[in-house]
Amino acid sequence: MKAFDLSQIKAFPYEKREKNVLFQTEEFKTRIIELPPGGKMPPCKMSEYVVFIVLEGEATIEVNSEKKDFKEMHCLITEPATLSMQTQKGVRILGLQITATPASAS
């Protein structure tokens, strides 16, 4: 069992995002994403399914050129896509990447 107090996890800037990984297996990865006010995450082509849960703050998240505003306790679930985000006030997100397994492999 792994247990985490998400309020106590220190987040590193985007450039050091690998330090934000809480847990990782071959099938999935969990991390904290934190952007300061005015912060941005550049477009990233994801080959995995992605789940974002906004813990604090607000962000505009873009999925394949479609933008949507998210605030505290909102959740995004998307198939593999190109993602980016920006925030005016700052945001803290729990992110999960889940490996997309081809149907023939199941």
Split at pLDDT 50, 70, 90, the class of 105 is: low
pTM confidence score: 0.88
May I ask the CATH architecture of the domain 21-99? Sandwich (2.60)
Mean pLDDT (whole number) for 59-80: 97
Please, are residues 51 and 95 in contact by the beta-carbon 8 Å criterion? yes
> What are the pLDDT digits (tens) for 10-47?
898 878 888 999 999 999 999 999 999 999 999 999 99
Please, are residues 102 and 49 in contact by the beta-carbon 8 Å criterion? no
* Mean of the per-residue pLDDT values of the chain: 92
> Could you give the CA distance from residue 100 to residue 5 in angstroms, rounded to a whole number?
28
Half-sphere exposure (Cβ direction) of 98: Cα atoms closer than 13 Å: 10
| Structural domain spans, the chain | 21-99
> Could you give the CA distance from residue 106 to residue 104 in angstroms, rounded to a whole number?
6
Residue 106 has pLDDT above 80, yes or no: no
